[in-house]
Structure 1
Amino acid sequence: MTKSAEDTIQMAVKDLEERKQKAQLNGGIDKLNLQRSSGHYTARERIELLVDEGTFMELGMLNHSDVVGSKDKSAGDGLIGGIGKVNGRPVVIQAGDKSVFAGTEGTVHLRKSKWLFAYAIKRGMPMFNLSEGGGLRMPDGMGSDGISTKLFPQEMLMVGREVPSITSILGDSFGGPTWMAVSSDFVTQLKGTCMAVAGPRILEMATGQKISKEELGGWEVHARDTGQVDAFGETVEACINQMKDFFQYMPSNASEEPPIKETNDDPLRRLDHVLDNLPKESNRIYNMKEIVKELVDDGDYFEYKSTYGPALLTILSHLNGRVVGIIANQPNKYTGASGPEECEKATDFICLCDSFHIPLIFLHDTPGFRVSNQAEKEKMPTKIMVWNQALAQSTVPKISVIIRKSIGAAYGNMCGPTMGADFVVAWPTAEINFTGPEVGINVVYGRQLEQSDDPKKEREELLQKWAFDSSPYKAAAEHYIDDVIDPRDTRKFLCQALEYACNKNGSKSERRLANWPTGF
């Protein structure tokens, strides 16, 4: 090799080094320093918090905006992306970069995001989104030609939950980051950020409405009102840890079952203290989470949508190392009666679990649905039936345990007899009926009691009769339910039942719900 040829190669390598060093500065050192000084991580720093050390392979580092005059201030075009490992498992990652045009989406940004998403599907890798950004970039999207090339990609709309999509809102997010979040399987939001279709400034300009970002799309809005976010964190680290915690329950793609977790917790362990959680009086409340903690491996579980629809618990955990989804009524919230929010929450969770081969456990303690004039305005009948439709379409193993009350139509929605369960069993404390004894007696015997010489005594006699009729033994005698079990044997029963229910194809489902919408 001649000296001049060697010099040419060295100059080319040096030029590459300089280009990559400049690309590492994103939108410029001043903007990066401003992010850090205000207590925020940069996009690459967020990725470092997520991935296993030394595993991230960045792709598209030399990208920049294709708008004339923007090249030198748009490294990465507002998106850092690539492939890395999270807890030893390969994943695809994209992180919005606020230092480049406030993280807005230009043509190259969108092209890179679409490619990353397609590659995740192609190679069966989960998609992690560290989101922050201002939506579509005005210059790139303006005009009939600009907007015509930047509508929602069909590939993302038709993906059918082939891989888990896990998103964290780590800065104010409008447009694209919001679309990605509400289409994901799990979303966590950093408190103090906003997630909405458009920001307060655009809203004011378009409608004249003045509103703070917290009122528009702050964490409390999504926690209580929308259910579009599943968990919340005080810090970036907390949000990223929530993403990792959720990921441990997911398969890498739809062709796999979730990973088995090693445990020394005996599957036949007797629950000697489980009855301590159940009040002696049937009308007293208690915390169903305490029973869940007794049942599952090592007492560990992950609650999904903990702040939304609080009368129903949706939980991911393990039984004898196998991932399970638990749907349980929560008696200390509205006595365990589900309203519109709980119905949406149940439907969402059933779709998630069935799409990713996670068996479902149902723990009943509900006096029925929370009906009201407001519930009717929120389409309560439709929401009840959509929940039932999802249940009917699901094909993962399903096991029901009736702990205390299971009344009326809610008995069906909680996967009672004829609703597709592999097994339905009850504790001896179970009450099963069309309606609760008090309500039923008032409806059926109201006038008779009004005319009674001793209405109090007659009511007590009727209550005793109706309580007997509500016991699980009549259903067990006619094989409408499979057994009445000792509550202390519930963990043993569930672990054995799961083993047998998964005998043919493991926990693999037919994934009929994979193409259902990701929001209800």
Structure 2
Amino acid sequence: MSTETNIPSMADRLEQLAEAKAKVSVGGGEERIAKQHERGKLSARERIDAFADPGTFTESGMFAKHRTVYFGMDKAEAPADGVVTGSAAVLGRPVHIASQDFTVMGGSAGETQSNKVVDMMKAAHTTGTPFVFINDSGGARVQEGIDSLSGYGRVFFNNVLLSGVVPQISIIAGPCAGGAAYSPALTDFIIQTRKSHMFITGPNVIKAVTGEQVTADDLGGADSHMARSGVAHFVADDDEQALLIAKKLLSFLPQNNTEDPPVLDGFEEVEANPELRDVVPVDGSKGYDVRDVIGNIVDGADFLEVQAGYAQNLVVGFARITGRTVGVIANQPSVMSGVLDINSSDKGSQFIRFCNAFNIPLLTLVDVPGFLPGVAQEHGGIIRHGAKMLYAYSAATVPKITVVLRKSYGGAYLAMCGKDLGADRVFAWPTAEIAVMGADGAANIVFKREIAEAEDPEAKRAELVELYRETFSTPYMAASRRLVDDIIDPADTRREVSMALEVLVNKRELRPNKKHGLGPT
């Protein structure tokens, strides 16, 4: 006796699976994806496809669903719960990715979405791979109430757990408002597109509470967060450019804090470069673009500048020297004469700490007249902000190589990684002036009486200024005290730095045993 059954065959089940995946893969539907395109934005899955090496993305949690029943949510469809998560290869190396889907309930974050993101963060921690979060969300899913906030809390907590363990990159590709903005702020780098906005409270709330009127672009646009707040590290015109920046950034970085950055072959050339002799004017009052110096030292003049539009008196970024990644910190004499101030100190110290966490040697190029004087700077806390530079350099255990190009005065000499802050090698160009202050100011103090009593005070002053400069404002006095290891021909800078890196590659440094230091905030 035979009985007929209605059990679907394997072919039927595979067909059902294909249909289910196809339904989820279009998120909120083709119409909403088309609206994304009209705004100049990619969909969540298109972003991953553009970022990952072809055919390497493995999705996780595709069929995850929310469990909310309030306010009609029991009938609401939210494919993948508004976020696409998984792992992929980028430039041949594994990463974990979360990409919010604005076509699904505005990308709003609820309990399940946050749990999916946290799962990727935990996987990144377990496997020692970078974590990339592409943000495009209207904010917390208000229908879920406290569960939504709880989800944010778990994301923030895991951001902190990942900090200093694996690189974390946030791409702001759409709205990122309210509490959602704090997750990017807890990551290492923020890449923001000009199609996006990021703020804690939007223009309408600000107007209602304070009466201030401001546009979304002025309040939280990419250019505002680069030039004014310093929140953004990179600005991109669109999604495609943001993803390219993220790829290039990852190419300089190790997978995690236990590894060294990848070393590239093909840039072993270290011949002298005479062009460097003419880049920096001998006259200390004349400006120049320090990026011209950087370009003549690093491999292929390839320099990825970080926060290029913020605190432009200090230049920081990633480059390679004979294939090895270095973090470059350089005063910029063409902006504010290259002084250190509150914002540049914050910018520099944050970058130094990142490099130290991920085993990236530091190359410091010095041409600094001092800290910026003024009431606003003092009241703004230049003491504690400037101390961040001292703290970051002193705490750093990676190889530290310093090259004094021209001026290096006072406390800023120390803050730009002098020998006493643990620099492993300090080189100086013949144009270097290393002193407590510039000769003009120092002569007024040291020779005050002689100048006042002279028959021709101005002539006497000029004579004594030159005497002070010849005595102290040269690299030779510092070299005699072993605070400069060598005075070098600028043309040999690349060779000297590359040789120092080769010697210091296995540097080990004994430090006091403690939980952590308490640096200035």
Q: Give the TM-score of the pair, scaled to structure 2.
A: 0.93
- After superposition, residues 61-460 of structure 1 pair within 5 angstroms as 61-68=62-69, 69-70=72-73, 72-142=76-146, 147=149, 150-153=152-155, 154-175=157-178, 177-204=180-207, 209-267=212-270, 269-446=271-448, 448-460=450-462
Aligned to 2:469: 467
- Cα separation, partners in 2 of 1:184 and 1:512, compared to 1, 3 Å: farther
Q: Is the 8 A contact 1:106 1:137 kept in 2?
A: yes
- Rounded to whole Å, the distance in 2 between the matches of 1:519 and 1:248 is 31
Q: How much has 1:377 moved relative to structure 2?
A: 2.1
Aligned to 1:51: 52
Q: How much has 1:337 moved relative to structure 2?
A: 0.5
Aligned to 2:498: 495
- Rounded to whole Å, the distance in 2 between the matches of 1:419 and 1:391 is 6
Q: How much has 1:57 moved relative to structure 2?
A: 1.0
Q: Is the 8 A contact 2:111 2:148 kept in 1?
A: no
- Cα separation, partners in 2 of 1:518 and 1:224, compared to 1, 3 Å: farther
- Cα separation, partners in 2 of 1:33 and 1:512, compared to 1, 3 Å: farther
- The structure, 1 or 2, with the larger RCO (C-alpha pairs under 8 Å, 6+ apart) is 1
- Cα separation, partners in 2 of 1:296 and 1:203, compared to 1, 3 Å: same
Look up the equivalent residue of 1:384 and give its one-letter code: G
Look up the equivalent residue of 1:460 and give its one-letter code: A
Q: Is the 8 A contact 1:328 1:362 kept in 2?
A: yes
Stretch moving more, 416-425 or 9-18: 9-18
Q: Secondary structure at the match of 2:296?
A: helix
Look up the equivalent residue of 2:484 and give its one-letter code: I
Q: Secondary structure at the match of 2:363?
A: strand
Q: Provide Cα deviations, 1:6-33, integer angstroms capped at 9, x if missing partner.
A: 6344443333222222111212332222
- Cα separation, partners in 2 of 1:63 and 1:517, compared to 1, 3 Å: farther
Give the fraction of aligned pairs with identical amino acids, expressed as a percent: 31
- Rounded to whole Å, the distance in 2 between the matches of 1:171 and 1:95 is 11
Q: Is the 8 A contact 1:28 1:73 kept in 2?
A: no
Stretch moving more, 78-87 or 508-517: 508-517
Structure 1: 5+ residue runs without aligned partners? Answer: none
Q: Is the 8 A contact 1:394 1:513 kept in 2?
A: no
- Rounded to whole Å, the distance in 2 between the matches of 1:232 and 1:368 is 30
Stretch moving more, 375-384 or 25-34: 25-34
- Cα separation, partners in 2 of 1:513 and 1:403, compared to 1, 3 Å: farther
- Rounded to whole Å, the distance in 1 between the matches of 2:3 and 2:254 is 54
- Cα separation, partners in 2 of 1:512 and 1:190, compared to 1, 3 Å: farther
Structure 2: 5+ residue runs without aligned partners? Answer: none
Q: Provide Cα deviations, 1:134-178, integer angstroms capped at 9, x if missing partner.
A: 221111125xx7645653453332333211111111112113542
Q: How much has 1:187 moved relative to structure 2?
A: 1.2
- Cα separation, partners in 2 of 1:149 and 1:487, compared to 1, 3 Å: closer
Look up the equivalent residue of 1:14 and give its one-letter code: E
- Rounded to whole Å, the distance in 1 between the matches of 2:294 and 2:244 is 22
- Rounded to whole Å, the distance in 2 between the matches of 1:359 and 1:183 is 23
Q: Provide Cα deviations, 1:103-125, integer angstroms capped at 9, x if missing partner.
A: 11011101111111111111111
- Rounded to whole Å, the distance in 2 between the matches of 1:504 and 1:292 is 24
Q: How much has 1:209 moved relative to structure 2?
A: 4.5
Query: RMSD of aligned C-alpha atoms?
Result: 2.6
Q: Is the 8 A contact 1:26 1:75 kept in 2?
A: yes
Look up the equivalent residue of 2:55 and give its one-letter code: G
How many residues are matched?
A: 515
Q: Give the TM-score of the pair, scaled to structure 1.
A: 0.93
Q: How much has 1:366 moved relative to structure 2?
A: 0.8
Look up the equivalent residue of 1:389 and give its one-letter code: Y
Q: How much has 1:405 moved relative to structure 2?
A: 0.5
- Rounded to whole Å, the distance in 2 between the matches of 1:219 and 1:149 is 26
